[in-house]
Amino acid sequence: MKKSIVLFALLAMCITALSQTKTYLIKGTVNKAINLELEYNDWGTKSEKIVITDGTFEISGELKEGTWPRAASISVIEGNSRRGNTVILEPGVITVAFNTKMATVGGTNENVNYELLTSQLKKYSEESASTFYDWQRAYNNKAPQEELERLWNKNEDAKEAERDLTLKLLRNNNSFASMVILPRIARYEGAKAVEPFIKMFQRFSYTNNYENLKKHYDAMSRCTDGTKIKDFTLPAPDGKMISLSDFKGKWVLLDFWYVDCHWCRKLAPNLGIIYNEYKDKGLEIISISVDKESDRERMLKVIADDKMVWTQVNDKTKTTLPEYFGVTGYPTLFLIDPQGRGMKMKVGYCEAAGLRRFLNKYIK
């Protein structure tokens, strides 16, 4: 009798364990006309080169309850570079087709949904990329400033159209696929734009995707959309201590940068143009270098060489203010209003035309 009870208990445990584990099978095809080297990466679980046999490959694995859906990647390897293609892991047969170097996914609900959303955004994302490459070519060919600004504004128009459609589609598509796509624009957005998705995607809190989204939202909640910015005090190059509160009553543009940041250096002349145009409208720029003490002399030389005549301070911890403001890339700008409230963030390089576009929404 006791043996029967023990066996029954063991059987029940096995059934429970099996019911909590699901399997997935990725069935892939590769157009034989293209020669691809592929790598599969299920983040934190396994990473492996994909063996392609007669234009096909298969990858299988188990999914423990509470760990799916989740995003994995099949990367195309070209030399030292890898271009990832997203595949969403969930129980069932997932299809992946490489007819070019970009994959088409399907088979399961989330992958079908991901492909649908991607196709709906394709026209807009291609226009955004195309107009950026137009500007990039002109920049590399040292086109006149007027032409660079025209092309930059054209790219900004395309990015705004892509952003608006992305937000509209994702707000009406409560799925894991939507959460995978959201970071394409979320890192450029303030708290109000991101907040609805924090609630919508809470059931995916077990994923890195959600953790990163929540971390960004928490930072933006501290410094955008009218939130009062905490005061800070940092040393200027001459040792004088400078506080944000010193500029109460003025618009302040914070500029996070460091000496080895190529695009930070490229942005400096455009900040100079803007500083001269807007200082009489009540704008002050505070450039916050995150360089270490060992780079102090190089920092001072860059400030002089790049004619950064506006307010300069240094946060040599490289963590205190960047973490508060949620800085994940350089350069990053934050606009603060005369009452000390954070209004908007801007990530990356931009032409003077882009800076005007950014500021003119607030400074009249």
Tell me 116's DSSP state.
H
CATH for 229-360 (3.40.30.10, 3.40.190.10, 3.30.920.30, 3.40.50.720): 3.40.30.10
pLDDT of residue 13: 45
Is 330 within 8 Å of 322 (Cβ atoms)?
no
Is 223 within 8 Å of 334 (Cβ atoms)?
yes
All CATH 2.60.40 domain ranges in the chain, comma separated: 18-107
pLDDT in tens, 127-178: 999 999 999 999 999 999 999 999 999 999 999 999 999 999 999 999 999 9
Residue with tokens 């796509």: 181
pLDDT of residue 43: 77
pLDDT in tens, 237-258: 999 999 999 999 999 999 999 9
Q: Which element (helix H / strand E) includes 286?
A: strand 283-289
CATH class of the region 18-107: mainly beta
All CATH 3.40.30.10 domain ranges in the chain, comma separated: 229-360
- Supply the mean pLDDT for the chain: 92
